[in-house]
Amino acid sequence: MKITKAVIPAAGLGTRVLPATKAMPKEMLPIVDKPAIQLIVEEAVRSGITDILIITNRGKGLIEDHFDRTPELEHNLSSKNKTEMYNTVVDISKLANIYFIRQKETKGLGHAIRCAKSFVGNEPFAVLYGDDVIIGENPACGQLIKAYDEYGLGVLGIKEVPENDIHKYSSLKVQNLHDNIFKCTDMIEKPQTKEEVLSLYSILGRCILTPEIFDILDHTAPGAGGEIQLTDAMRELTKLRGMIGVDYEGTRYDMGNKLGIMKAQCEQALKHPEIGNDFKKYLIDLAKTL
Ligand code: UTP
């Protein structure tokens, strides 16, 4: 079955980026001039996704506004013949069919995904984490969809993380099938001891899930941090059917922590057509003073 639906969980509290995220969703933090969530929606669309459900909560109205029309701004831009910017602004509202639902309590990523049940129905679907931006020629979500088409199983976007950091992430038991494609047979969220670490491969930012995940989430108990963890439900799906891991191409930026935000800003500013050259000169001069 062709994958056309995606879910973007964006209902987290963003406590690691406070106070910036007190009133503004972290998913709206810009990378130069585009909010993170727009880059994520664009990646989904480039991967063949037509319908996107964004999971929000109180105080995330800015996300809805960003994908809506803005008559006053559009009128202002068109009356001043700023055609290029007018098109840029209008095109955002035409990217895909975008729907919103609220996660009424912040009970974890697994709980957020459970909110997508009626939107998804009985189809496989993509999940793009709202604070993970992945930049690359070949959209990461599309790379996972290709693996789903090949194996007909749920697919995890995976990358190796530094040994010292694995306790903050999930850890996967994997076996290489070919190239960057792995079979995953077990996983654990936030391993606390060395013995619990299955490998340094972790699920980072993207996955393809089959609808069985909703029945599993119905009985998934709170796990690490007292949250209903998607990893715990995916572990059960893995035991039931197995899952595929794709060590995807592309640069991932974690917009949920301060250093990740600054790396994204800096690297993408260097590539920006309008300010790239000036920013590079500025950075070289600045580096000399460090
Ligand atoms: P994180 O664990 O990074 O989000 O979840 P968080 O809770 O906002 O982070 P901190 O620790 O407080 O800084 C990964 C993704 O899952 C979403 C987040 O919005 C993020 O995109 N999420 C998390 C939900 O939608 N609902 C939740 O209950 C938790």
DSSP 111-169: HHHHTTHHHH-SS-EEEE-TTEEEE-SS-HHHHHHHHHHHH-S-EEEEEE--GGGGGGS
pLDDT of res. 1 = 82
**Ligand 1 within 6 A of CB of 131:** yes
What's the pLDDT at 68? 96
Q: What is the pLDDT of residue 224?
A: 87
Whole-number pLDDT of residue 99: 97
* pLDDT tens per residue across span 74-131: 999 999 999 999 999 999 999 999 999 999 999 999 999 999 999 999 999 999 999 9
pLDDT score recorded for residue 184:
97
Q: Is 190 in the pocket of ligand 1 (CB under 6 A)?
A: no
Ligand 1 atom closest to Cα of 257?
13
Which among 18, 111, 131 is the best mutation to test ligand 1's pocket, defined by most ligand atoms within 8 Å of the CB? 131
Q: Which of 13, 169, 228 to mutate to test the pocket of ligand 1 (most atoms within 8 A of CB)?
A: 13
Cα of 16 vs centre of ligand 1, distance in Å, is 10
Q: What is the pLDDT of residue 59?
A: 79
Q: Are 15 and 5 in contact (CB under 8 A)?
A: no
**Cα–Cα distance, 81 to 85 (Å, whole number):** 9
Q: Is the CB of 9 under 6 A from ligand 1?
A: yes
CATH of domain 5-256: 3.90.550.10
Counting ligand 1 atoms within 8 A of each CB, the residue from 8, 13, 109, 204 with the most, and so the one to mutate, is 109
Please say whether the beta carbons of 202 and 247 come within 8 A.
Answer: no
CA–centroid distance, 9 to ligand 1, in Å, is 8
CA of 74 to the centre of ligand 1 (A): 33
Distance 233 CA to ligand 1 centre (A): 16
Domain boundaries, the chain: 5-256, 258-290
The rounded Å distance from CA 130 to ligand 1 centre is: 8
Ligand 1 atom with the shortest distance to the CA of 16:
13
- Residue ranges of the chain with per-residue pLDDT less than 70: none
Q: Provide the pLDDT for residue 74.
A: 96
